[in-house]
Amino acid sequence: MSLLIIGTLAFDDIETPAGRAANEIGGSAAYAALAASFSTPAAIVAIVGEDFPKDTLEQLRSRNIDLSGVEHAKGASFRWAGRYHENLNLRDTLDTQLNVLTQFKAELPPALRDSEVVFLGNIDPDLQLSVLRQLNRPRLVGLDTMNYWLESARPAVLRVLERIDLLIINDEEARLLSGQHNIVKAARAILRLGPKRLLIKRGEYGVLAFGDESIFAMPAYPLEEVFDPTGAGDTFAGGCMGFLAREKGNLSGTPMRRAIAHGSVMASLVVERFGLRRLWELAPADIEARRQAFLRLTDFHGA
């Protein structure tokens, strides 16, 4: 099954302890779709301005990513700037320019309305809801959101949460959403809001999964050098959702755990270079080698 992704296509200005990059192509939809494209065909619903490079769009198409849902508008594309601390789990947003995003309607071309597996990436929750309403028979819906929306549009976020299957957010967002500091209590409170499963991303500490009969944990891969954590969250989500789409949206124990492992593998790779660069150059053998490394990392020789 293919994966429909709504999110941003962006220019990012990034500063990390390892260096800086300006006008780097990014955006939640770009990371998620490229990561997913190693598992399944993907489609992007997003908006770009006149400045967005045609050859990037062409490259995305060449990866089996359908861009029929990408709107082209007059004006500048969405732009974001961020700076990471020495502790890479900490990031300051220096600038967010919505630009053409303010005109985005997220209207799906008829062919995409039959999509069954959908990732509603980080964007205005009213747009996420509007995409949901246009779908004929969604089977698995994943969602990401962020502090910005939890603070400025909480009622809309709560409305989307009632209608989704899988919520993928970070620990800070989980605390903000639930009002609970303890992560297990936070998870329990969030699951009462609607989602069947909840994945809490904890940066370099990995991921916790809730909503199954037991809690599942996957570490992040301990890398000696992280160049740029930008997009790690979206890459995790795209990798995970792409894997689940290939499993026909099955959220039960083993496919879910493998999807989480696959998302973690993809996220551990994307941070090795700036922006999307590592995802562009990635070969299936690199993914398999990192998967093997994860297996060795997490094998405690239990029964």
**Binding region for ligand AMP (CB under 6 A):** 8, 10, 12, 26-28, 80, 96, 122-123, 148, 230-234
Q: For the CB of residue 31, give the shortest distance to ligand AMP in the complex, in Å.
A: 6
Nearer Cβ to ligand AMP (172/286): 172
Residue nearest ligand AMP by beta-carbon distance: 26
Q: Are strands 216-218 and 207-210 parallel, antiparallel or unpaired?
A: antiparallel
Nearer Cβ to ligand AMP (87/182): 87
Provide the 3-class DSSP secondary structure of residue 194: coil
Nearer Cβ to ligand AMP (99/122): 122
Nearer Cβ to ligand AMP (126/212): 126
What is the per-residue DSSP string for 234-273? HHHHHHHHHHHHHTTT--SHHHHHHHHHHHHHHHHHHTTS
Q: For the CB of residue 119, give the shortest distance to ligand AMP in the complex, in Å.
A: 13
Nearer Cβ to ligand AMP (10/33): 10
Q: Enter the tokens of residue 6.
A: 């709504």
Q: For the CB of residue 27, give the shortest distance to ligand AMP in the complex, in Å.
A: 4
Please give the DSSP secondary-structure letter assigned to residue 113.
Answer: G
- What is d(CA 9, CA 52) in angstroms, rounded to the nearest whole number? 9
- What is d(CA 280, CA 20) in angstroms, rounded to the nearest whole number? 19
State which amino acid sits at residue 286.
D
Q: For the CB of residue 25, give the shortest distance to ligand AMP in the complex, in Å.
A: 8
